[in-house]
Amino acid sequence: MIPIPAKSDTPDIPGRPTHDIGVARRDCPPARSGGRKALRRLGAATLTAGALVAAGCGSSGSPSPGSSSAAAGHTGGTYTILANSAFGVADLAQNYTLEEWQLAIDTHDGLVQFKRVGGTAGTQIVPDLAASIPTPTAGGKTYVFHIRKGIKFSNGQVMKPSDFVTTFERQFTVPGPTTFYSGIVGASKCGNAAKTGKCDLSQGVVADDTNYTLTIHLTAADPEFLDKLALPFAYVVPASTSMKLTGNNVPPGTGPYLWQSYNPNKEAVLVRNKYFHVWNAEAQPAGYPDKIVEKYGQTVSDEVTAVQNGQADEVFDGDVIPADRLNELNGAQYAKQVHVNPLTADWYFAFNTKQPPFNNLKARQAANFAADRNAYVKIGGGPSLAVPTCQVLPPNFPGYKPYCPYTAGSDTTKWTGPDLAKAKALVKASGTAGMKVVVNTDIPDKALGEQMVSDLNKIGYKASLQALAGSIQYPFVQNSNNSKKWNIAWSAWYQDYPAPSDFLNVLLGCGSIHPGSDASPNIAAFCDKSIQAQMDKAEQLSVTDPTAANAIWAQVDHAMTDQAPWVDLYNPKQIDFLSSRVHGYQWNPQWYILIDQQWLSK
C-alpha cells in the first residue's frame, strides 16, 4: 500500500520509498530508492483532537443509499479536482503516484483488476481484459489468460495479446519499478534494459494472437502475482508504444476515458473514449462525467474555498487540509460533503535491534508500555483522523485480529493507556536504565519524535531528538552504515495491495535486510527465523487456501508484536471533501475515491 511531493499550507511532507527508482507517489513526498513496496504517505495535519468530529463527517465504503438507481441517466458534466501540485511523469510504466493512479484506472486496463466498488469488496480481484481468472499450473508458475476480443485502444487500434508483451518489457526498458515483475522468466536478463532499450521476455510472456491467449511463466510461484497484475504498471498499451519513457504523453488505453492532455504546470484533462464498451462492469464500469479535469497550483486552503463555493468538485485527497479549514468543515452544513475513511497503513517507530538498549527485548517492550498513543493520535489529527494501535497489520485487512499487549488494564484487544509502572520495571530488569537514546525522525514529523523523547525519558532513558530533512531521513535509517547513529526511528507504510506480507514480510522479514544499502525496508534489522518460517508457510499456503493462510498471518502478527521490533503508533484516516453537487461517493480500499463513479447535479 506504494509518491511527486505533496505541498500544502502545512510543511512539506517527505515521502517513503518506491522500489528501485526515484519516482514518488503524489500523496507521498519525494520517493527514493527503496524496498520492493512503495508507500502511500499522507502527512500528519497539525490538528487538535476536536478538529473534525466523527458526527460531522460521512464515512463511505459503499455508495450512498439508492445510488445505483439514482445514477441511471445522470451522465454528463465536468468533474473538477484541485491538487496543489501535479504527479510528475505521466507514463504508466514509471509513475508511482496515487494521484495518477486514480485517473489511470479510468483510462487503462490490465488482465485483472480490483473490483471497482467501495468497501472491503473492493479488495477482490476480478477479470478485466482477461475473460476469466486462471488457475495457475506448473506448481503455481504458469498462468494462461484468455484475452477478450473486440476491444480497442483509445486510438482505434485493436487490442491483442501481443500488446501485453510490450507492456511488460517496457517496465524494464523505461524503466519502472521492476521488482513487481522480476519473477517473470527472462526478467533476470533485463538488468541493463534501461541502458540498452532492449528486454526480451518472449519466453516468459508468450502471446498467441490467433487464439487470443497470453501465457505468463514465472521462475517461482508468487501468491501475490494477481495483485501485482492489477497495478497500473501492468495496464496494457499498444505494441507500437516507444520502449523509452513517454514523458507527459500517456500511451493509449482501453478504458472509458482517454488522456486529452496533461500539463504538469496547469492541468490534466480526461474525456470519453469513443471506442470503449463495457465488458465487465465489476472491473471497468462506464463513467458518469463526460470530462474529468485535475487542475494544479492553488494552495490547499484555496482548494477548500473553491469546493465550498461550487467552483470545483474535489480537494485532491493527497492534499492535507489545514487545521483551521477542517474546523470550518466540522459542522452540519458540510456533513454530506466530508467523508472520513480508515487507511490500511501504519505509522510507527522502528527500534534499532542491533544496538543497545533496544537489542534487548525487555527494553523494547518497556518503550511500548510507555508510549502515550493518545498523544501520537493527537499529533496525527485527533481520534477522527487516527486510531491507536499496537500491532503491525492494520484493521480491515487480511489476517488482522485485534491485539494489544502493551496497554494498561487487562483487555489486550485494544490500547487504553500507557502503563509506566510496568515500563519502568522492564527497563530495570533489562539493565538499560540511564542509557542514551537517539530518536530519529524527519523534520515535518518532529512532533512525533519529541513525544517519543518524552515517553522514553519518563522511564529512565536519556533520550534526544535527531530530526533530518525528509529527503535523507528514510535512506539514512535504512542503511546499516548509520546504525550506530540512532536507536529508534520514525516511519510509515501504506499498502500496495491487500496482502499481509506487504507489511509483515516486507518490513520485518529476514530477506528485507540489505546491509550497507539505502534500500533495506526492514529498518529494525529484525530477523526471527521461527517467525520467518511461519511467514514463508503462509505465503505458500495463500495460493491454495487463503483462509488458512490468513489464520497463520494473524499468528505471525501477534508473535511479531510480542517481539516488539516497533512501537506501533496509530492507523491513519483520510478526509475527502467534495462539492454539494457530487453524488454516489464510494471509497475503495485500493484506489480510494472512485472518481468516475460519481455523478453531478445538473
CATH number for the domain including 452?
3.10.105.10
Q: Could you read off the pLDDT of 499-508 as tens digits, one per residue?
A: 999 999 989 9
* φ/ψ of residue 218, rounded to 5: -105, 155
Instruction: Cell 473553491: give the residue.
Output: 306
Long-range contact set of residues 127-130: C-beta below 8 Å, sequence gap at least 24: 127/280, 127/283, 128/230, 128/280, 128/283, 128/284, 129/159, 129/236, 129/254, 130/214
Specify the pLDDT at position 34.
Answer: 28
Specify the pLDDT at position 162.
Answer: 98
CATH number for the domain including 159?
3.90.76.10
* φ/ψ of residue 200, rounded to 5: -105, 105
In a domain, residue 2? The reply is no
Please name which of 488, 497, 548, 555 lies closest in space to residue 524, comparing C-alpha atoms. 488
Structure letter (DSSP) for residue 246 = -
In a domain, residue 506? The reply is yes
118: how many CB neighbours lie within 10 A of its CB? 25
In a domain, residue 227? The reply is yes
> Could you tell me if 229 and 350 lie in one domain?
no
The sign of the torsion formed by the CA atoms of 468, 469, 474, 478 equals: negative
State the pTM of this model.
0.78
In a domain, residue 485? The reply is yes
CA distance 103 to 214: 26
Q: Which domain holds residue 491?
A: 345-569
> Could you tell me if 372 and 223 lie in one domain?
no
E strands, 334-470, are 338-342, 345-351, 386-388, 436-442, 462-468
Q: Extract the C-alpha cell encoding 433.
A: 536504565
> Could you tell me if 431 and 565 lie in one domain?
yes
Q: Which residues pair with 268 in a beta bridge?
A: 262, 294
In a domain, residue 16? The reply is no
Out of 173, 207, 234, a domain closes at: 234
Question: For the chain, what is the domain count?
Answer: 2
The sign of the torsion formed by the CA atoms of 163, 164, 168, 174 equals: positive
> Dmax over Cα atoms in the chain, in whole Å?
73
In a domain, residue 252? The reply is no
Out of 234, 265, 292, a domain closes at: 234
Specify the pLDDT at position 359.
Answer: 98
> Could you tell me if 551 and 426 lie in one domain?
yes
Helix 361-370 × helix 420-430 angle, to 10°: 160
> Could you tell me if 205 and 352 lie in one domain?
no
Q: Mean pLDDT per 10-residue run, the chain (602 residues)? A: 30 29 30 30 33 39 41 87 93 91 98 94 94 95 98 98 98 90 96 93 98 97 93 97 95 98 97 98 98 96 97 92 87 94 93 98 98 96 91 93 97 97 98 98 94 98 95 91 97 90 94 88 97 95 87 98 98 94 95 96 89
Q: Could you read off the pLDDT of 216-272 as tens digits, one per residue?
A: 999 999 989 999 999 999 999 999 999 999 999 999 999 999 999 999 999 999 999
Specify the pLDDT at position 564.
Answer: 98
Q: Extract the C-alpha cell encoding 441.
A: 525522525
Specify the pLDDT at position 71.
Answer: 53
In a domain, residue 25? The reply is no
> Could you tell me if 227 and 361 lie in one domain?
no
* φ/ψ of residue 424, rounded to 5: -65, -35
In a domain, residue 564? The reply is yes
Please name which of 206, 405, 200 lies closest in space to residue 191, comparing C-alpha atoms. 200
Q: Could you read off the pLDDT of 4-42 as tens digits, one per residue?
A: 223 333 322 222 333 322 223 333 332 222 222 333 333
Out of 234, 253, 270, a domain closes at: 234
